[in-house]
Amino acid sequence: MAARVRSGVGLAVALALTGATLLMIAGAAGAAPSATGRDCFTELARGRGADIVCEYPAWLTDQERDDLRRLTRELLQDARCTVSIKITRALVTRALTAANITFEAPPQPVACEITTSQQLVPIAATFAPRVVIKDGVAIDATPGMANVTGVNGYLAWPVVAYVNRSATVKTEMLKMINAYLALRVAGR
């Protein structure tokens, strides 16, 4: 059962934090507003301050939650995260308008609550996404997950490795970022 618990915790954190990373980097439409009222997508699109400051709630979909429960034999029930974003607007604008750039965000904190069948487990981490854009197209990306706290290192390490090295995570990041870049070009 220990192996299942480890992989389940990894999946829960990876799914929740990966979604948060994708949304933080790409700024896709349709996000829920944050509890603080600072909607990241509105802030990205219409904000005028020197910094983009917002919180983004990232929750598992019903399908991801069902998968999590099935894979962990109902031990893990849910994962909800909030990414606290504060990044210089000029850094993001430069990345979204340059044809060739390597975008490296400073570490952004994320706090998660993993619901098990017996308790809530608070977990925190940071993301420092890195995206390589060539000829206006994102060609490489990693969420740059690090600094996981709230779980033992033997549980955190596989999650960090999965999130940062997963071809699936990379592919989804690239799809989302390129979709957003295409919308920006079309909207000019």
pLDDT in single tens digits along all 188 residues of the chain: 333 333 344 444 444 444 444 444 444 333 444 445 577 778 877 888 999 898 888 777 888 788 778 877 888 788 888 889 898 989 888 888 889 999 999 999 989 888 888 888 898 999 899 999 999 999 999 989 899 998 888 777 877 887 788 888 788 889 888 888 887 777 65
CB 40 within 8 A of CB 76: no
The two three-digit tokens of residue 15, written as one number? 């799914």
Q: Give this prediction's pTM.
A: 0.70
The sign of the dihedral angle between the CA atoms of 132, 135, 136, 138 is negative
The two three-digit tokens of residue 177, written as one number? 């970022």
Packing angle, helices 62-71 and 2-26, rounded to 10: 160
Count Cα atoms within 13 angstroms, Cβ side, for 88: 8
The two three-digit tokens of residue 102, written as one number? 């390597």
Give me the residue label for tokens 């206006």. Answer: 136
Please classify residue 171 by burial: count the beta carbons closer than 10 Å to its beta carbon, then call 0-12 exposed, 13-18 middle and 19+ buried.
exposed
Give me the residue label for tokens 């389940």. Answer: 8
Could you say which DSSP state residue 188 is in? -
- Euclidean distance between CA atoms 102 and 15, whole angstroms: 25
